[in-house]
Structure 1
């Protein structure tokens, strides 16, 4: 009987949740996708081919048991579908919203390869967990027994929270230290509400706190507490700080006011969304309202910035990217959403300098090469006024040349083809790099790679310091939320194994 409900991909076309109208969604930060109705979710889940080798599962970093919870959804057994989905994923309702399914599970769906259109896995995952919360199936964290061991987690982003969840469910005493005034990391302050409404994150934070996780918020390691003090307080430590050091552009007029970092811009917008006082936003420094906005970069952060600027009331929004559409790292789905909302993408372009002045950007003058460097400040919105106000970005046109070591064609400058894009606000979304933690934390024995990321075992996530683990972007470099969740869960398992081994050793003596 179960089989009769499946294999519908030949007769049932792929469908995604309805998007809110462009004019409607441009006016607020609410999520743009509507919920699946129960019948539609079951219908789309029934399109799964239940293949013997599920590539969707193998290409999911968490190896979620996708075929099983799709089948259960198609059969109307949603409670069981939720039970299966949450076994491998700490935050399925978050992954269902922000994972780039087109590059992971859905992009590797067998029926997609056969030309029938992939199963809408992400939307069904979101539907399952949202229903579970509505129906009260998401149970509070209640350990069967309390354990004496204590773990300190530095960083309240997805990796740190995933580790906290698993450790607390095992009865471990957990304290999360975070520099911000809310937990969630980029889930709270980096990803805009139109992709992930903040109540979704706050709900999980409340669940963790109600379950006994202690949050030490507004606490920065190296300033308010030392790394050594945290190690002394706890039996194990998890470093889950993420990477917040922005890559910067230096060169002609790079310090002009109105040239800001993506992390500052998005954080200010998120704080305003929460209802916080944000002087930099209210003054207009980190607010796109009424401005011509140029965003530099082609990743998901750049997509977040351009779509945020639209909602803030920018008069125009352009995105400069040095390669073409096919080679950009950001989600193609996000590019489409941005274009629908009025963003203009200027492909094969790179900044060569900035023009300043109160009026129209100057059209003359030589191009000045810019180079990428590391920012000196991280993590907090800062005063962005540097010199005279920016009036434009001097743009170099590019072409794609020979492939590099990764197989991607290198962008090459087309000499003599530069021009100026008028701009009142320029947002640099060039990626992120790790902070120099050994120096900031006065812990020279914390080993890092040549990229500045923490060196950790890829299975246990333990560093060279005994009892110290590291997860997420601070190990991988800027990556996906789903990878951070996986790392946090694996580190928690390794820590529990460590505690069990220690108990066994004591018992044997």
Structure 2
């Protein structure tokens, strides 16, 4: 009987939750997708073909048990679906909203390959967990026993928080140190509300606090407390700082007023949405209202910047990217959302310099795609004599992020880094060169996805538990 609910993809079309019309959604920072109703969630889950080898699960960094929780949803067994989904994922409601499902689970769905349109895995995941919060199925963390050992976690982004959750459930005392005044890292201050409303993140942070995780905020390691002091206070330390140093562009006029970094622009906007006092926004420095905005870059951060500019009331928003649409790193879904909202993409274009002491324009070089580079992507080549000037009152640089020099900043020369400046850590245990010190997320991988940071954090938490238990058993002998 149960299987009659499944394999409906032949009869039932793929249907995403309704999207708010562009004219309406441009006026606020609310999420753009509505929620499924129960019948729709059941119907769309029932399109799953229950593959013997589920590629959706294989291509999910967390190896979420997707076919099983889709089946449970199709059968109306939502609480069991939630239990199964959160068994492998610390923050399913966040992944359901911001994972690039088109590149991961949904992009590898077998029925998609057969031309029937992928199962809407992300939307169902979001629906299951939102329902769980609503119905009170999300329980506070209650360790079976309290342990005396403590873990210090540096960084309250997805990697650090996922580890904090697992370690706290095991009974360890957990202290999270973060430089910002709110926990959440880029989930709080980097990702705009139209992709991830802030109360969704704050709810999880409250759950961790109520479960006994201690947060030390406004705390800059290396300034307010030394790395050695944190090591001295705890039995193990996890570094989960993320990468926050913006990549710079070397070009004439790059110091002009009105050229800003993506992280500053997005943080100011998100702080405004919390109701904070943000002088740089109020002065117009980090505010797109009434301006011709040019965003440089082609990743998801660039998409966040163009769509934020539209909502702030920019007169025009253009995105310059040196490759074409097919070769951009950002999510195609985000590009489509931006285009619907009136953003103009200027493909195969790169900045050569900037005009005006206060920004007046971007000198643009047109490009073409040449032969593939070492990664197989076609390398952009300059088309000589095709330069022109793109007028601009605000230029947002979204060229990606690099790691800060932690060994120097924290005065720990023994912390080994790669030639890219990321921390060297074991791929499975996430242990660094320093005993009892672990590292996860973007500070190890380079700028990556929230879902990979969650996976790293969960794995590292288990390794830290084993390390402490191993040390205890040696001490007992």
**Is the structural similarity TM-score above 0.5?**
yes
Which residue is 2:321 aligned to? Answer: 321
Confirm or deny that 1:87 pairs with 2:56: no
Per-residue deviation, residues 408-432 of structure 1 (Å, max 9, x unmatched): 1000000000001000000000000
Measured in 1, the distance between the counterparts of 2:202 and 2:64 equals: 24
Q: CA deviation at 1:252?
A: 1.1
Measured in 1, the distance between the counterparts of 2:132 and 2:79 equals: 7
Which residue is 1:370 aligned to? Answer: none
Measured in 1, the distance between the counterparts of 2:472 and 2:242 equals: 32
Give the SS at the match of 1:249: coil
Q: CA deviation at 1:23?
A: 1.0
Listed as ranges, the matches of 1:262-301 within 5 Å are 262-301=262-301
Per-residue deviation, residues 144-172 of structure 1 (Å, max 9, x unmatched): 11001100000000000000000001110
Confirm or deny that 1:434 pairs with 2:403: yes
Per-residue deviation, residues 315-344 of structure 1 (Å, max 9, x unmatched): 000000000000000000000000000000
Confirm or deny that 1:500 pairs with 2:469: yes
Q: CA deviation at 1:251?
A: 2.1
Measured in 1, the distance between the counterparts of 2:250 and 2:80 equals: 54
Measured in 2, the distance between the counterparts of 1:478 and 1:144 equals: 36
Q: CA deviation at 1:173?
A: 0.3
Per-residue deviation, residues 86-133 of structure 1 (Å, max 9, x unmatched): 000000000000000000000000000010000000000000000000
1:491 to 457, 460, 463: 460
Give the SS at the match of 1:43: helix
Measured in 1, the distance between the counterparts of 2:411 and 2:270 equals: 32
Give the SS at the match of 2:207: helix
Which residue is 1:369 aligned to? Answer: none
Q: CA deviation at 1:500?
A: 1.9
Q: CA deviation at 1:62?
A: 0.1
Per-residue deviation, residues 236-268 of structure 1 (Å, max 9, x unmatched): 000000000000112211100000000110011
**What TM-score do the two structures reach when normalised by structure 2?**
1.00
Q: CA deviation at 1:498?
A: 1.2
Confirm or deny that 1:453 pairs with 2:417: no
Which residue is 1:174 aligned to? Answer: 174
Measured in 2, the distance between the counterparts of 1:95 and 1:167 equals: 21
Listed as ranges, the matches of 1:2-401 within 5 Å are 2-356=2-356, 388-401=357-370
Measured in 2, the distance between the counterparts of 1:155 and 1:501 equals: 26
Measured in 2, the distance between the counterparts of 1:319 and 1:20 equals: 23
Q: CA deviation at 1:21?
A: 1.2
Confirm or deny that 1:467 pairs with 2:436: yes
Which residue is 1:361 aligned to? Answer: none
1:406 to 352, 359, 375: 375
Measured in 2, the distance between the counterparts of 1:282 and 1:449 equals: 40
Measured in 2, the distance between the counterparts of 1:500 and 1:227 equals: 23
Confirm or deny that 1:481 pairs with 2:450: yes
Measured in 2, the distance between the counterparts of 1:426 and 1:3 equals: 54
Give the SS at the match of 1:351: strand
Measured in 2, the distance between the counterparts of 1:500 and 1:448 equals: 27
Give the SS at the match of 1:255: coil
Q: Which runs of 5+ in 1 are unaligned?
A: 357-387
Which residue is 1:368 aligned to? Answer: none
Measured in 2, the distance between the counterparts of 1:467 and 1:459 equals: 15
**What TM-score do the two structures reach when normalised by structure 1?**
0.93
Measured in 1, the distance between the counterparts of 2:439 and 2:393 equals: 40
Give the SS at the match of 1:248: coil
Q: CA deviation at 1:2?
A: 0.8
Q: Which runs of 5+ in 2 are unaligned?
A: none
Confirm or deny that 1:418 pairs with 2:402: no
Give the SS at the match of 2:404: coil
Per-residue deviation, residues 386-445 of structure 1 (Å, max 9, x unmatched): xx2100000000000010000010000000000010000000000000000000000000
Measured in 2, the distance between the counterparts of 1:288 and 1:193 equals: 17
Q: CA deviation at 1:506?
A: 3.1
Measured in 1, the distance between the counterparts of 2:79 and 2:105 equals: 22
Measured in 1, the distance between the counterparts of 2:42 and 2:346 equals: 40
Q: CA deviation at 1:505?
A: 2.4
Measured in 2, the distance between the counterparts of 1:425 and 1:254 equals: 12
**How big is the alpha-carbon RMSD for the aligned residues of Structure 1 and Structure 2?**
0.5
Q: CA deviation at 1:58?
A: 0.3
Give the SS at the match of 2:247: strand
Measured in 2, the distance between the counterparts of 1:149 and 1:94 equals: 30
